Structures are given as structure tokens and as C-alpha cells.
A and B are shown apart, each in its own frame.
Chain A
């Protein structure tokens, strides 16, 4: 079984709808991240969480919110989706105790299309 899972894997929605993307991990890592990937732009950080009570904005947090329900779960919400939020979304985890390099491990991604 995959260590980092994301649901759904694909989603098509309409402008103005509320959408939640979910991420779960079995790696036991304390840190979790949400990124979006757009062609030619690489990955950009939306939000990150160092533990259940520590949530921080990334470089492109506007229009998004997150919830860290447990150490293993980190969800991303789009309160009112807009077309320019069409992208590939990745969840990642890392272990702050693993030697200090903060290596991140990624889920398979969620392809979101906002019409």
C-alpha cells in the first residue's frame, strides 16, 4: 500500500463550488505539505504543517484553507473554486527527526479541473 495517499485522484467541478482534497499518510511523519503543480512553474507551496497545532501559509495560500485533523491527515479546501485553480495538487510528508535534511515524500497527486 502507498505510504501517502490522496483522494480523489481526479475531480472536475464548477466555478464557485467548495472542494476538499484529502491526504493521508502511514509514514508516521510529523510534517505535511500541500503543493500545486502548473506546467513550467514547478511545484509551489500552498500550506504546510509541522504538527497538528502548527499550520503555516506557503507562497500561494490565497483562495485555499487547510485542516490537520490528525498527525496522519491533512486536507486542503477550496472554499469557492475558480478556473485558475485548475492544476495538479500534491500532498507531501517529511520527518523532522530524520537527519535534518527534511526529505519530502509525495502522494500520487489530484488532478483538479475547475470549469
Chain B
């Protein structure tokens, strides 16, 4: 069975600083991996996804994530944080459409300091 662990329920960075949100996964077969973002009072929005085509995945709003099989990680990064990045971020793992569902991590709340 697959699972996902997000390290750190809350991350705070200064505006302009590097954003690093950590995600580790467990899967018995090559997984599909996702990052979703949830802005206040909104639903989840897909930020980016890994589908085995390339290990470095670029998403919306300047975010990217790198799939590292040896570390079973899929950390989310952004070189320079913006105030509008303040939100909750969820990492998720799926075995693809032949499987039943996506498993979500518990989420990391990102705060941006002025």
C-alpha cells in the first residue's frame, strides 16, 4: 500500500527566501506524485504532478519538485517566496487510474513573513 509523509505541519519563511516543503512517500510500485495547494476558504488546486516523464517537475506559480527514487522523496521548492504563496500544501501519491484512490499527506501550512 502507498502512503505519504509531510515533514513539518507549519513552515514559515521570509518574503524572498527559499521555500522547501518536504514530502516522502512509500509505494510498492512506481507511483504518481502530486502537490496540491489550498488557499484560504478554497478547494485544492493542482500545483504539479510527477508521472515518470521527468524527475524535475515544474508547476504553476514558480514551484517545482524533484522526484528522488533513492530517497523516496518529492520535495516542493520555490526559489523566492511571495506573500501570495501563503497557503496549505498537500503532497499526494497515487498508483494511477487503475488504482482506487489518491492518498494525501496531512498538509503543511506555509506562512510568509514580510
Contacts and interface: CB of A to CB of B under 8 A. Distances in A.
Interface of A: 4, 33, 35, 40-45, 48, 56, 58, 90, 92, 94, 96, 98-109
B92 to A, nearest CB: 8
Contacts of A43: 44, 90, 104
B49 interface: yes
A63 to B, nearest CB: 19
Contact of A104 (B42, B99, B102, B105): B102
B90 A48 contact: no
Interface string B47-84: 00101000000000000000000000000000000000
Interface of B: 9, 32, 34, 36, 41-46, 49, 51, 90, 94, 96-102, 104-107
B106 A102 contact: no
Contacts of B43: 4, 90, 106-109
Given A42-B107, A90-B43, A107-B43, A102 B90 contact: no
Contact of A42 (B32, B45, B98, B105): B105
Contacts of A101: 32, 49, 51, 94, 96-97
A100 B96 contact: yes
27 contacts: A33-B101, A40-B9, A40-B106, A42-B90, A42-B105, A42-B107, A43-B44, A44-B104, A45-B101, A48-B101, A58-B101, A90-B44, A94-B97, A99-B51, A100-B51, A100-B98, A101-B96, A101-B97, A102-B99, A102-B102, A103-B46, A103-B49, A104-B46, A105-B46, A108-B42, A108-B43, A109-B42
